C-alpha cells in the first residue's frame, strides 16, 4: 500500500508515511480484533480492515491533524424517544460523552429500572445534561443546531421526532447517527423513506450493535432499495461501566440466564432437568468446590416455568430486577447462558445478553456461531461449546475448572474495558470525519457565493423558525408492545 502511494505524494512526505505506517501496524497488533471496528461503505471494499471512506491513511492522518479537544465544541444530542433499549442508551451516553470537547444533551422519554443510577456514575469529559424528550423538538428549532444527533432506536425515533429532524435536515448542519436494532426492517417503510432523505444528502451513518447486524443491513437489506447507495455503517458494541464486585473465590457456583419465561423457544424443563448433571458433577469432583451448591439464576419476567423436583433447590427466579441488581447477579456468574429465543440473533438482530455478560464481567457460554456473529467477544473470554453440545453438557464439562473461570472472568473484564475505550476513540473519529465534511461543505458554499459575487459573510446564516411557532408534536405514551421488547 505504501509502495502504491509513492508516485502520488511529494518526497518529503515519505518519512511521515513510514511513521504513520508503523503506528498503523502497532495499532493492528494492539487492537487484535481489527475488522470489528472498521466503518463500512457499500461502494467500496468495506469489509477490509480500517478502510473507511477516506482510506486508511486519511483517517490516521486526520488523527494526527486536528485534535478533538481543540476548536468549537461539538454539540451532541442523544435521543431516546420511547424509553426502550436503556442499555444501548447508556452505552451511547458513555461513548459520546467521552468526547473531550463536546456539549451533550440527552433527551429521554424515561429511564427504567434505575438505569439513571448507573448513568449518573459515569465519568464523562463532555458537558452533559439530561432532558425530557419533550424538550427535543423546541431545541431542534433553536440555533445553534447540534452537529450530531444520535438516535438510540432509529426505527422508532425517526417517526416520533420527525418534525424536529426534518428541520435539521433542511438546514443541513447536522449529521445523524442512526442505531439500527432490526437490520431486516430497513428495506421499506416510512422510517426508511425518511432515512433515505438523510442518506441522499450524505448526512446519515447507520450504527449496528454488532458486526453481524451491520453486515446484514449492508448485504441483505440496503440492496433492496434498488439504487446503488453510498452508505456508511458503523459498529458499536453497547458496553458501559457498572460497579462489579471483587472476585469472590469461595462463593457458591452461580449460573445465569435471562429472558422471557414464557418463551416457547426455550425448553426450560429440559434445561432444569439437565442441571442435575451439573450439580452431581460439582458434588463428585474432589477439590475446593466439592461442598458448594450450584444455583441457576433465571432472570426474567412473566409466569415462572415449573421446575422438576430434582433441581428445585437449584433454580432461582430473579424477577423484575433493577439494572444495578441485574448486573450484580450476572457478575457473580460462573457462566452466562445465552439461550437465544431465535436464530435471528445470529444474523439480523443483536442480543443484549452478549454485551450484558461483558458489562457484568462474567464469561458467556458461546457457540462457534455466537463467536462468529459477535466478533467483538474474544474467544478466550468465553466458555466455548463444542459443536452440537448442549448448554448444560458444556457447563458440566467446564464447571470444576475454577482457575480457568478466574482467568476467563479477568479476560471478560479486560475485553469490556477495551471495547469501552475503543468505542470512545471510534466515536471521536466519527465526529471528526463528520465535522471535517461539514467544514468542507461550508467552505464550498462560501466559495460559490464569492464566485457569484455575493458578500463574503463569515458563514451562511442558519435558517430558524422562531420558537413560538413550533408546532406541537405529541409524544406517544410507551405502548405495551414496546414495553415488552423481548430480551435475548
Ligand atoms: C463545560 O462546562 C464548564 C463549566 O461550566 C466550562 O468551563 C467549560 O468550558 C465547558 N466545556 C465545554 C466544552 O462546553
Ligand atoms: C455509584 O458510585 C458509588 C460510589 O462509587 C457507589 O457506591 C454506587 O454503588 C454506584 N452506583 C451504581 C448504581 O453503580
Ligand atoms: C457481506 O458482503 C461482504 C462483501 O461482499 C462479504 O465479504 C461478507 O462475507 C458478507 N457478509 C455476510 C454476513 O453475508
Ligand atoms: C461516498 O461518500 C463519501 C463520504 O460521504 C465520499 O467521500 C465519497 O466520495 C463517496 N463515494 C462515492 C462513490 O460517491
Ligand atoms: C466437604 O465436607 C466434608 C464433610 O463435611 C468435609 O470432610 C470436607 O473437608 C469438605 N471439603 C472441603 C473442600 O471443604
Ligand atoms: C406485556 O407484558 C404484560 C405482562 O408482562 C402483558 O400483560 C401484556 O399483555 C404484554 N403485552 C404485549 C403486547 O405482549
Q: What is the mean pLDDT of residues 363-384?
A: 97
Q: Which atom of ligand 6 is nearest to the CA of 483?
A: 1
Question: Coil, strand or helix: which one is 265?
Answer: coil
Judgement on whether residues 292 and 390 belong to the same structural domain of the protein: yes
Centroid of ligand 3 to alpha carbon of 58 (angstroms): 24
Q: CB–CB of 292/411 below 8 Å? A: no
Checking if the pLDDT of 313 tops 80, the result is yes
Checking if the pLDDT of 262 tops 90, the result is no
Instruction: Establish if 388 belongs to a structural domain.
Output: yes
Which pLDDT score is estimated for 479?
39
Checking if the pLDDT of 358 tops 90, the result is yes
CATH number at residue 323: 3.40.50.2000
pLDDT category at 61 given cuts 50, 70, 90 is: very low
Q: pLDDT tens-digit profile of 120-156?
A: 999 999 999 999 999 999 999 999 999 999 999 999 9
Phi-psi region of 147 (alpha: psi -120 to 50; beta: other; left: phi over 0): alpha
Q: Whose CA is nearest to atom 12 of ligand 6?
A: 481
Task: Characterize 169-183 residue by residue with b for buried, 16 or more Cβ atoms within 10 angstroms of its Cβ, and e for exposed.
Answer: bebbbbbbbbbbbbb
The upper half-sphere exposure of residue 397, i.e. CA atoms within 13 Å in the direction of its Cβ, equals 11
Structurally, the chain folds into a number of domains equal to 2
Residue 217: which domain range? 66-236
Q: Ligand 4 within 6 A of 53 CB? A: yes
Instruction: Tell me which residue has cell 471495547.
Output: 419
pTM (two decimals): 0.80
Q: Ligand 3 within 6 A of 220 CB? A: no
Cα–Cα distance, 176 to 171 (Å, whole number): 13
Q: Ligand 2 within 6 A of 241 CB? A: no
pLDDT category at 69 given cuts 50, 70, 90 is: low
Q: Whose CA is nearest to atom 2 of ligand 4?
A: 230
Q: Ligand 4 within 6 A of 410 CB? A: no
Beta strands in 358-398 (DSSP E): 365-366, 383-384
Which pLDDT score is estimated for 36?
28
Show Cβ contacts of residue 44 under 8 Å, excluding neighbours closer than 6 positions.
51, 53
- Of 298 and 259, the structure prediction assigns the larger pLDDT to 298
Judgement on whether residues 185 and 76 belong to the same structural domain of the protein: yes
Question: Coil, strand or helix: which one is 452?
Answer: coil
Instruction: Establish if 203 belongs to a structural domain.
Output: yes
Q: Which atom of ligand 2 is nearest to the CA of 243?
A: 14
Q: Ligand 3 within 6 A of 215 CB? A: yes
**Residue closest to 270 by CA, chosen among 320, 337, 321:** 337
β-strand partners of 407: none
Instruction: Establish if 284 belongs to a structural domain.
Output: yes
- Say which ligand is closest to the CA of 202: 4
- Of 293 and 30, the structure prediction assigns the larger pLDDT to 293
- Of 165 and 475, the structure prediction assigns the larger pLDDT to 165
**Residue closest to 372 by CA, chosen among 361, 387, 362:** 387
Last residue of a domain, one of 362, 385, 418: 418
Amino acid at each position: 500500500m505504501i509502495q502504491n502511494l509513492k508516485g502520488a505524494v511529494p518526497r518529503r512526505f515519505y518519512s511521515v508515511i513510514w511513521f504513520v505506517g508503523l503506528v498503523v501496524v502497532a495499532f493492528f497488533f494492539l487492537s487484535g480484533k481489527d475488522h470489528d471496528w472498521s466503518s463500512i461503505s457499500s461502494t467500496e471494499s468495506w469489509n477490509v480492515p480500517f478502510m473507511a471512506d477516506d482510506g486508511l491513511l486519511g483517517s490516521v492522518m486526520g488523527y494526527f491533524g486536528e485534535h478533538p479537544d481543540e476548536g468549537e465544541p461539538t454539540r451532541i444530542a442523544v435521543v431516546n424517544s420511547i424509553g426502550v433499549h436503556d442499555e444501548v442508551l447508556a452505552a451511547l451516553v458513555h461513548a459520546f460523552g467521552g468526547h473531550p470537547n463536546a456539549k451533550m444533551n440527552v433527551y429521554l422519554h424515561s429511564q427504567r429500572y434505575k438505569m439513571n443510577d448507573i448513568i449518573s456514575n459515569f465519568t464523562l469529559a463532555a458537558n452533559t445534561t439530561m432532558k425530557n424528550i419533550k424538550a427535543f423538538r423546541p431545541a431542534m428549532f433553536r440555533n445553534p443546531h447540534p452537529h450530531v444527533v444520535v438516535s438510540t432506536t432509529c426505527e422508532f425515533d425517526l417517526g416520533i421526532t420527525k418534525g424536529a429532524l426534518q428541520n435539521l435536515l433542511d438546514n443541513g448542519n447536522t449529521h445523524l447517527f442512526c442505531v439500527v436494532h432490526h437490520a431486516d426492517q430497513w428495506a421499506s417503510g416510512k422510517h426508511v423513506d425518511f432515512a433515505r432523505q438523510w442518506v441522499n444528502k450524505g448526512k446519515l451513518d447507520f450504527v449496528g450493535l454488532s458486526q453481524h447486524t451491520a453486515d446484514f443491513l449492508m448485504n441483505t437489506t440496503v440492496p433492496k432499495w434498488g439504487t446503488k447507495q453510498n452508505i456508511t455503517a458503523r459498529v458499536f458494541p453497547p458496553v458501559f461501566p457498572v460497579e462489579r464486585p471483587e472476585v469472590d473465590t469461595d462463593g457458591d457456583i452461580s449460573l445465569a440466564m435471562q429472558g422471557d419465561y414464557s418463551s416457547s423457544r426455550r425448553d426450560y424443563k429440559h434445561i432444569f432437568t439437565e442441571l442435575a448433571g451439573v450439580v452431581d458433577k460439582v458434588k463428585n469432583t474432589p477439590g475446593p468446590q466439592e461442598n458448594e451448591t450450584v444455583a441457576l439464576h433465571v432472570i426474567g419476567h412473566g409466569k415462572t416455568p415449573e421446575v422438576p423436583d430434582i433441581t428445585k433447590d437449584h433454580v432461582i427466579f430473579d424477577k423484575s430486577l433493577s439494572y444495578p441488581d441485574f448486573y450484580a447477579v450476572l457478575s457473580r456468574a460462573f457462566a452466562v447462558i445465552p439461550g437465544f429465543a431465535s436464530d435471528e440473533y445470529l444474523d439480523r438482530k443483536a442480543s443484549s445478553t452478549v454485551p450484558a455478560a461483558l458489562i457484568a464481567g462474567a464469561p458467556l457460554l458461546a457457540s462457534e456461531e455466537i463467536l462468529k456473529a459477535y466478533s467483538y467477544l474474544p474467544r478466550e473470554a468465553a466458555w466455548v461449546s463444542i459443536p452440537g453440545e448442549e448448554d448444560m453438557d458444556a457447563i458440566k464439562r467446564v464447571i470444576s475448572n475454577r482457575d480457568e473461570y478466574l482467568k476467563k472472568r479477568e479476560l471478560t473484564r479486560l475485553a469490556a474495558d477495551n471495547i469501552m475505550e475503543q468505542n470512545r476513540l471510534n466515536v471521536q473519529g466519527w465526529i471528526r470525519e463528520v465535522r471535517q465534511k461539514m467544514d468542507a461543505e461550508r467552505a464550498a458554499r462560501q466559495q460559490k457565493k464569492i464566485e457569484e459575487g455575493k458578500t463574503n459573510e463569515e458563514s451562511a446564516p442558519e435558517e430558524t423558525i422562531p420558537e413560538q411557532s413550533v408546532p406541537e408534536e405529541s409524544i406517544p405514551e410507551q405502548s405495551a408492545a414496546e414495553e415488552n421488547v423481548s430480551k435475548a
